[in-house]
Structure 1
Amino acid sequence: MTDAIVAVVLDQLISIIAKETNQQVRLVVGVKKEIKKLTSYFRAIQAVLLDAERRGLKEMAARDWLDKLKNACYDLDDVLDEWNTAILKLQSERAESAHVLHKTKVCLILPSPRFCFKQVGLRREIALKIKRINKNINSIVREKDMFNIDKSRSIEEPPRIKSTSFVDVSVVIGRDKEKNYLKNKLLHESNEDKNGVHIISIVGMGGMGKTTLAQLVYNDGEVKSNFDKRIWVCVSDPFDEVRIAKAIIEGLTDSVSNFTELESLLKHIHESVSKKKFLLVLDDVWTEEYNKWEPLYNSLRNGLQGSKILVTTRKSTVAGMMESIDIIDMEELSKDGSWLLFKRLAFFDRPQQECEKLEDIGREIVGKCKGLPLALKTVGSLLRFKKTREQWQRILDNEIWKLEEFEKGLFPPLLLSYNDLPSKIKRCFSYCAVFPKDYEMEKDELIKLWLAQGYLGLKQNQELEIVGEEYFNMLAMCSFFQDFKKDDDDNIIKCKMHDIVHDFAQFLVKNECFTMGTSSDEDSSCSYVNARHLKMTLEDEKASFPTNICSIFKIRSLIVRWKYNESSSISICLSNLFKQLTSLRALTLDEVFEENLITKIPSEIGKLIHLRYLNMSSLRGIKELPDTLCELYNLQTLNMSFCSKLEKLPDGMGKLINLRHLISNGTFALSCMPKGIERLVFLRTLSKLVVGGDGHNSQVCSLDSLKKLEYLRGSLEIRGLGNVIDGAEAKNANLKSKKYLLHLKLYFDYKSEASSTEVSTKDEAVLEALHAPPNLEKLVLTCYRGITMSFYWMASLTQLRKLTLRICINCEHLPPLGRLPLLERLQIIGMRSLKSVGNEFLGIKINDSSSSSSSSLILFPKLKSLFLEKLENWEDWEYEITENFAIMPCLSDCDITECPKLKALPNHFLQATSLERLNIDSCPVLKQWAEIYHHLPITSYSEVTERL
């Protein structure tokens, strides 16, 4: 990972030279020369890094040289970042002063002497530090020449990733025999089943496909129907009985257990499996200690006959210890199976003629993979981007295949793939070692962490998150990630790393990434001198916070997870952490349970001047944040999600001029946001804007704070629209220019005067003036108090797919929605003034020219789901149309509930051949329609008649 920090430092140096050239900063005499000399050194170092890291695999001297270089780079990065931070602070203070002077109508030509004095003192201090580091780097460069390290050949830039080229590497090839055997054992009872729960073990070395095989049968349709309950638990190492027991309970009961003692948990399992036939998968078991396994096994023996426990492990001794009845030994893939798996990836989307030319080399490479599925996937994914025979030959002849000391041939193919990556992507991969094994990484979180470490670049006005997404896609396509979870739009949102891949990542950053569990019986005196990234869990109430952590003052990433501890001691611990760990770039504070352990963020957080990423989501005990938080001028991500008691943000939020992501979902107590949000012009994510006060309070942000936030993307929730003064303020928000905003939630606060004409008129004016973003895909409108909703911009939402109208209590008519071309899901809830629905809903008039046209007009052409609820006074639903109209031809799912006065459904329901589910509840007048529903082409109309 040395090239990662070298590249970051080189970017910093180039940036400083550019700033000096543009007169943004002035260097002390002599330092400009030092900076250019350092830049030259790092360019020379970068040219030999690939060979140095290759030799570092075998040669201790080269490895030591790389460690020295890495530590020097970290030191220099801190100094350069300290300098940039101080400059940001001075610029911010100037901007504040200029704002004050502008308000008081005073104009000064000369800068304040205080600023000049600060700049001179700052530049001298930084200059001394840079000169000291330069001497160290100089000696490291001279030492490099002693090793005779070769210049590295340039790494080819990978092709730009296309969304259509993703290959599903989870498909199992060559395991039909094992699959059929295992499935048969799970589906059929044996004599052994009568003596207790039947245990089956899959045994094989890492990367052999054990977990994949277990997943394959676990999700098989026949297996699913054979068991009352299926539970999947990733065990890994260490064997944590409490965590495993809780995971089993969660799988059995679909709820999280509040028990903390193992005895109580085991009793709960014993009761929960009673009269149930279950399948429990324990993935990746390492422990050979029977005394740890026995209590858990005894609690499971209360299940019905035929219950099964499926274990995956690398060690046959584990299968023996667990007294497995059947053991499946995962052997290497056959030659034919290996070739099928390899060519599926390496030859994907490649012309047949080209495949034939490469087949002979390909088969030799397959032979080097020794039948290991993970190795075949990794190398196959690598060669997918190699187009020529010469490129394939270089992979075949690479010396890395000779590295026998690595885990039975798995590291060499991973190294081949890793070394082929550009350095910018290498550093992103190796950073993943920060997470523990089997950790489910959220893609967006991972990209923000890469950004915090400087791995995606330094320019704030660039779309660095998109760069991060491209890097993520490349790593996914190189088989470094697996077990993908996707959203409704088929976008990857989560993934995992294979445990061997995780081992490989840890190998790359050895002595830098650590996981520390602090329990009462654990020795916390271990040395973490070279640690740069640390995850720490305080595991029980008797454990004390390890004081030695504050000595790791150069740490850059810290995840602190509290399971138990006294709230008062946590505050002291945090205060000490913030005073000492001033090199932090990323900090996550996490609580396992809803204990509200952390009730205050100490003011010392302002000392973390390098901090880019702060995640304190789910700290439900916090009511406010310290003003010193606003001194974190480098902060890029601030995640406050589900801090449900958080009432206010610091007044100085506008100082966080580098903030890109302000995430505050679930902050229900937040009644307003401070003025200054409009200064955060680099914001990409603003999950919620609360327009507070009475509309005249100059200390809180108004709706027009959005005007200059041109980079906003993703989702935005606006609350407090009832506090907006008039339509002019709404228009100034300039939402129509936010072309990257895709999801919008608008909340008009419900108040007692909601029925007044004045309030209704104001809400109508505000909604009309807002004019939604042009590429909006989802819109939620809540507590709107207008009488009409025929805002003109609705027709422009040609990309809208989901629309929810909730508790619009005064609205008497539905907006014209029928001509929205992509609308798929529509929810209308709580419109108590709505009495009839007619042609206006379709977006046509009675004398519409289309009605006389020979061609049919399709209304709601893409609508699949319709949800109508609590429309208390709705009576009529009918249209005055001709036969030239087709209505909701794709409707498949419809819910109509608590509409007590609704008389009938329109005729197009009777003609809806696509309708699969119709749910009608608490609509007594529709009872007379029950007989007609029997003729509808739906699969489950009996539910409807029973409820009526």
Structure 2
Amino acid sequence: MAEPVVAAILQQLATIIDREVREGVKLVVGVEKEVRRLSSNLSAIEAVLEDAEKKQLKDAAVKDWLAKLKEISYDMDNLVDEWNTAITKKQIASGENAPLHGKVLSSILRPCVSLAHSCFRYGIARKIKEMDERLSVIAVEKDRFNFSHIRGAEEPERLRTTSFFDESEVRGRDGEKALVLTELLSGSQSPSQPYIMSVVGMGGIGKTTLAQLVYNDKEVIRYFDRRIWVCVSDPFDEVKVAKAILQSLNGDSPNYTEFETILVKIHEAIVGNKFLLILDDVWTEDRARWEPLHHCLKCGAQGSRILVTTRKETVALMMETNYRVTLESLSEKDCWSLFGRIAFFGRRDEERESLEDVGKEIVKKCKGLPLAAKTLGSLLRFKRTREEWQSVMNSELWELEEAEKGIFPPLLLSYYDLPSTLRRCFSYCAVFPKDYKIEKDRLIKLWMAQGYIRPRGSQRVDIVAQEYFDHLAMRSFFQDFEKDEEGDIVICKMHDIVHDVAQFLTKNECLLIEVNVRGEPKLNLCFQKACHSTMILPSGAPFLVSPYDGKKLRSLLLQFIGRPSISAEALHDLFDQLTCLRALDLHDSLIEELPREIGKLRHLRFLDLSYNVKLKVLPESLCDLCNLQSLNISGCNYLKSLPCGIGKLINLRFIDNSQTVHLSFIPQGIGRLTSLQRLTMFFVTGKGKKHGASTLADLKYLNHLQGTLQIGGLGNVANVAEAKKAELLSKKYLAKLQLSFDGKEANSRMIHDSKLLEALEPPPDLKCLSIQFNEGKIVSPNWMMSLAKLKELKLIQCNNCEHLPPLGKLLSLESLVVSGIRRVKNVGIEFLGIKVDGAANNPSIVAFPNLKLLKFGYMDEWQEWDFRSH
């Protein structure tokens, strides 16, 4: 877990030195030497970190060494980020990122900035020397542990599975067994034999048990000529797997060494036979390793089957699975039965009855995971007293030594199979409470705020972050997915025991703090070294920071039970103390005022102020947060403007300002934020309004915008040339666009709005379009019919429109809403996009071929619906 932090520090150090050199700045005497030595020590430590993180499971001294390394790594990360921030602010102040009208002012400020920066570099030099001395001690200590430089040198032991088991010990899985048996014994075929089936699920969920159940079923034994069981595991050695198959077929262990020879012998043994091959515990996603064996197995008789068990959905895809079963958790009833068979074995009835209520609470911890039920059952089998059982009930699983030895190792195999960057992303999820609904978009932003996403070359950070999430989801680290209409995951959960593993890996680094109504935390652990925390406050509880002394917090996520409010004084204390924060979530906390001290949070990347319905103003000091990446002010209904200096937030990528109905002032500086990927709502202020308001031209360079963009106040645009300057056509990542022609500044609205709409041509891949309050006679710009991927279209309150466009030509359209088009009197065949020269009788022409929803409303003058051909 320390590995990604160390790697990030090395990368930042190299970048900073490069920036200083490019600026022609001579580093303080000795600093470059200290930085080189610091980097050298970090590189030496990074080389052995993977081995160290695996050895900590068995060696407390290694665990302690890693804890010290992690602490100094975070301190160094803060220092390097502070250095980087100072350089960025110097660039902003010197005018490198300022608009032209700021150049004169910046030239006056430049000498002061230069002097301040020189003093700052001396301070950095002193801190770097201190860090170097601390790290040197840790670097020396590492040598006594004899860490290996070979990645993957040590990991939890992998158990070898067999086909033998006792069916009487199995609980549940009757439904899954029936499904798999039906598919095994049916005549279903694939274009290329044999038919491949996969059982996918998290570690310990019972995949091997299900495979054993079907492998030993009497019908299966009769149906197949040959049955073969191979435990594949990792690493995937195709020669060993092939030898195991051949040994199972021939009953001996030939001393063949050539892969080709082994495959020939397998081919001879199965040709014309109907076989079942179980490949248990497959991890490899490398198709090149699988293909030779797959081709060899195609000579079996019709009806042959390969059944694969795996934790990774990507394995099932790689093997071109024809039928897949995703194994879910056991029911609580089955889990209790499995637990009770072990825990109550040999006990008297009265003893069992006295422990049942406690036992059922313990079983709830298992959350349907058979491995957990068996492990805890075995633990409690030898605990005789109720007090001992209650002790287990009141403990977190990650605190139990037995869980560390019995439950976690199989799950840790999945963890160590991940690249180091993904490990850190996974373990961060320990910051959330159990059974928490995790919003994918929010999680990705939090990862980005912590610097966990490491793109290569010109890769987009958001694309890489999405790939990270997908990798974790396809490896069974997440579950209970909720998806949008496009089939993309938007919300997920973590299984409680997977969450326990994350907590076990992070220990006191990620803490959940519950505060009672008196403002006292329910916390026995030291909070001083915590890095990430979710704090749960009930209604009426005061928000206090000082008693927790969490000065090293990098994430603070607040959750409220009820609707308490945070005072300005409490926020002042928070901003004054928790200056290491990278992520701060203050959503739905009834904040009335955001203190100017928020500008002290110089490391802050993620700020969620959403649904603070009393918040009216954002302080200008917010614009001092030059590292800020994500600002969420959605649902802040009474917020009227963004701060004028927002153009200084040059690293800002996301502004979510949806449902901010009174936000009518967007400053001109918004046009400088060329990294913006989301700006939910953009409002054009009319002439004579607040000085410094943005215009449509400020959208020109925001070509990374994606998702949804709502442009309001278009009725205030007096010049069509201004609309062309927005260059919406270049916003190729936009999926949804809403054009609202509210506002009353422009003259001759009827003609003007039509021309304005024509100038606002969107990107051709747009999926959703809404046009509102347009006063033109025809709401049909030339570009509309070129939107070949448009799925949803809304035409709302276009009061002067007399004729509907030929929307039937939009072949991808699935939803069409027409409302408030009050002057339309007739809807005829032209609406379908079909010519009236007889082509309407051509059965090959289909209007609206994909339309699923058609809705008309408030069509006051509509008299006729005539689709007859003329």
Q: What is the CA-CA distance between 1:366 and the residue it aligns to?
A: 6.0
Where do residues 618-629 of structure 1 align in structure 2 (5 Å cutoff)?
618-629=611-622
Question: Aligned with 1:712: secondary structure?
Answer: coil
Structure 2 CA distance for partners of 1:434 and 1:103, relative to 1, 3 Å: closer
After superposition, give the CA deviation of every residue in 1:874-893 in whole Å (9 maximum; x if it has no partner).
112224637xxxxxxxxxxx
1: CA distance, partners of 2:649 / 2:426: 29
1:598 has 2:591 as partner: yes
Where does 1:179-578 land on structure 2 (aligned, <5 Å)? 335-336=212-213, 379=311, 405-407=402-404, 409-457=406-454, 462-520=459-517, 523-524=520-521, 526=524, 527-541=526-540, 543-549=541-547, 551-563=549-561, 567=565, 570-578=567-575
Deviations 1:877-915 (A, max 9, x none): 224637xxxxxxxxxxxxxxxxxxxxxxxxxxxxxxxxx
CA contact (8 A) 1:378 1:414 kept: no
1:770 matches 2:767: no
Which amino acid is 1:505 matched to?
A
Residues in 1 aligned to 2:407 and 2:318: alpha-carbon distance in whole angstroms: 21
Q: Which residue of 2 aligns with 1:744?
A: 737
Structure-2 separation of matches of 1:338 and 1:535: 46
TM-score, reference length from structure 2: 0.72
Unaligned runs of 5+ in 2: 154-169, 179-201, 218-227, 249-276, 284-307, 320-374, 376-399
Distance 1:453 1:344, change over 3 A: farther
- Alpha-carbon distance in structure 2 between the residues aligned to 1:546 and 1:338: 60
Which residue does 2:850 correspond to in 1? 862
Partner SS for 1:857: coil
Which range moves more in the overlay, 445-454 or 112-121? 112-121
**SS state at 1:426 partner:** helix
- Cα shift at 1:11: 2.2
- What amino acid sits opposite 2:428 in the alignment? Y
Displacement of 1:539 in angstroms is: 1.3
The alpha-carbon deviation at position 42 of structure 1 amounts to 1.6
Tell me the distance in 2 between the aligned counterparts of 1:644 and 1:610: 28
Q: Provide the secondary structure at the position in 1 that maps to 2:480.
A: strand
1:797 corresponds to: 787
**CA deviation map 1:134-156 (0-9, x unaligned):** 1111111111112111113279x
Which residue is 2:380 aligned to?
none
Post-superposition Cα deviations, 1:804-835, rounded to whole Å, max 9, x if no partner, equal 11111111111221211211111101111111
Could you say what secondary structure the match of 1:590 adopts? Answer: coil
In structure 2, distance between residues paired with 1:42 and 1:377: 40
Secondary structure, in 3 states, of the residue corresponding to 2:771?
Answer: strand
Instruction: Tell me which of the two structures has the higher relative contact order, counting C-alpha pairs closer than 8 angstroms and 6 or more residues apart.
Output: 2
Q: Partner of 1:670 in structure 2?
A: 663
Secondary structure in 2 aligned to 1:805?
Answer: strand
Report the 3-state secondary structure (helix = DSSP H, G, I; strand = E; otherwise coil) of the residue aligned with 1:792.
coil
1:873 aligns to what? 861
Normalised TM-score (structure 1): 0.67
Amino acid in structure 1 at the alignment position of 2:477: F
Distance 1:632 1:522, change over 3 A: closer
Show the counterpart of 1:835: 825
Following superposition, the deviation at residue 112 of structure 1 comes to: 2.7
Equivalent residue number for residue 30 of structure 2: 30
Number of the residue aligned with 2:367: none
1:343 & 1:19 partners in 2: Cα distance?
Answer: 59
Q: d(CA) in 1 for partners of 2:407 and 2:116?
A: 55
Paired AA for residue 632 in structure 2: N
Q: 1:9 maps to which residue? A: 9
Deviation at 1:772, TM superposition (A): 1.2
The one-letter amino acid paired with 2:701 is K
Relative distance call for 1:712 and 1:565 in structure 2 (3 A) is closer
Deviation at 1:364, TM superposition (A): 9.6
SS in 1 for 2:854: strand
Within 1, Cα distance between the matches of 2:232 and 2:833? 52
- CA distance in 1 between partners of 2:520 and 2:131 (Å): 36
In 1, are the aligned partners of 2:230 and 2:244 still within 8 Å (CA)?
A: no
Deviation at 1:120, TM superposition (A): 1.1
CA drift of 1:779 comes to 0.4
Contact conserved, 1:34 with 1:134, CA < 8 A, in 2? yes
Structure 2 residue 716 is the aligned partner of structure 1 residue 717: no
Match among 689, 693, 698 for residue 700 of structure 1 = 693
Contact 1:345 1:377 in 2 (8 A): no
Task: Note the C-alpha offset of 1:99.
Answer: 3.8
Number of equivalenced pairs? 686
Q: CA deviation at 1:103?
A: 7.7
2:470 alignment partner, SS class: helix
Letter paired with 1:538:
L
Contact 1:378 1:479 in 2 (8 A): no
**Aligned to 2:756, what secondary structure does the other structure show?**
helix
Name the SS of the counterpart of 1:509 in structure 2. Answer: helix
Structure 2: distance between partners of 1:378 and 1:47: 30
| 2:606–2:630 Cα contact (<8 Å) kept | yes
Aligned to 1:260: none
For the residues of structure 1 that align with 2:711 and 2:809, how far apart are their CA atoms? Answer: 26
In angstroms, what is the RMSD of aligned CA positions? 3.9
The alignment status of 1:77 with 2:77, answered yes or no, reads yes
The equivalent residue for 2:813 is 823
Amino acid at match of 1:335: Q
In structure 1, the partner of 2:301 is: none
Matches of 1:856 and 1:818 in 2, distance apart?
Answer: 14
Cα distance, 1:66 vs structure 2: 0.4
Do 2:177 and 2:210's aligned partners in 1 also have CA atoms closer than 8 Å?
A: no
* Distance in 1 of aligned mates of 2:796 and 2:667: 28
Q: CA deviation at 1:381?
A: 5.6
Q: Which residue of 2 aligns with 1:41?
A: 41
The question of whether the paired residues in 2 share the 8 Å contact of 1:691 and 1:720 is answered with yes
CA distance in 2, matches of 1:407, 1:566: 39
Once residues 758 and 869 of structure 1 are traced to their aligned partners in structure 2, the CA distance between those partners, rounded to angstroms, is 27
Change (3 A) 1:367 1:838: closer
Amino acid at match of 1:607: K
Inter-partner Cα distance in structure 1 for 2:602 and 2:559: 22
In the other structure, the counterpart of 2:290 is: none
* Residue identity matched to 1:740: Y
Quote the offset at 1:8 in angstroms. 2.0
Task: Letter of the 2:816 partner, please give it.
Answer: L
Q: CA deviation at 1:461?
A: 7.2
1:506 CA drift (Å): 0.6
The answer as to 2:803 corresponding to 1:813 is yes
Q: Compared with structure 1, are the counterparts of its residues 355 and 669 closer, same or farther at alpha carbon in structure 2 (3 Å cutoff)? A: farther
Measure the CA separation in 1 of the matches of 2:771 and 2:242: 58
Instruction: State the alpha-carbon separation in 1 of the partners of residues 111 and 488 from structure 2.
Output: 54
Identity %: 44
Separation in structure 2 between the aligned mates of residue 743 and residue 457 of structure 1, nearest angstrom: 28
Shift of residue 869, structure 1, vs aligned partner: 1.1
Cα offset for 1:856? 3.0
Write the distance in 2 (CA, Å) between the matches of 1:565 and 1:77.
36
Structure 1, 34-43 or 448-457: larger mean CA deviation: 34-43
Give the Cα separation in 2 of the matches to 1:354 and 1:662: 54
SS at match of 2:704: coil
Deviation (angstroms), 1:439: 0.6
CA 1:601 to 1:851, structure 2 compared with 1: closer, same or farther past 3 Å?
same
Q: Distance in 2 between matches of 1:818 and 1:386?
A: 40
Contact 2:203 2:411 in 1 (8 A): no
Distance of aligned partners of 1:357 and 1:762 in 2 relative to their CA distance in 1, 3 Å threshold: farther
CA deviation map 1:544-588 (0-9, x unaligned): 334445621110000123346874x62211110000000000000
Q: Distance in 2 between matches of 1:103 and 1:13?
A: 30
Contact 1:461–1:682 (Cα < 8 Å) also in 2: no
Local SS of the residue matching 1:534 = strand
Query: C-alpha displacement at 1:514, in angstroms?
Result: 0.9
Other-structure match for 2:127: 129
* Residue number in structure 1 paired with 2:332: none
Separation (CA, whole Å) in 2 of partners of 1:335 and 1:40? 52
CA 873–462 in structure 1, closer or farther in 2 if over 3 Å, else same: same
